[in-house]
Amino acid sequence: MLASQFCTEIPMTTPLHELEAQVLSLGAADRAQLLERLIQSFEPDTKAEKAWISEALRREADVKAGRARMVPGAEALQRVRARVS
């Protein structure tokens, strides 16, 4: 079930705890899609959002051009933890 389908099937009178349980039962991809839409609902088309999109596109271009390389998430977190500890 897609998050967009899920949202239209839930009546507005659904208690929050029930809605939360239903959302948590979704697959990871659908939860991620729903999360993205919820975040966007707080600050649609803000300067910050545009800046992050620009930064992401710049980083993607750097990787494609060989100026930067991708690092697995666990390695990235390890590096950050080492710097702040």
Torsion of CA 55, 61, 63, 65, to 10 degrees: -150
Q: Using the 8-state DSSP alphabet, how is residue 25 labeled? A: T
Task: Give me the pLDDT at residue 36, please.
Answer: 87
Residue ranges per structural domain of the chain: 1-42, 45-85
Task: Give me the pLDDT at residue 1, please.
Answer: 47
Task: Give me the pLDDT at residue 69, please.
Answer: 94
Q: What is the gyration radius of the CA atoms in the chain, in angstroms?
A: 18
What pTM did the predictor assign?
0.43
* Residues of the chain under the 70 pLDDT cut: 1-12, 44
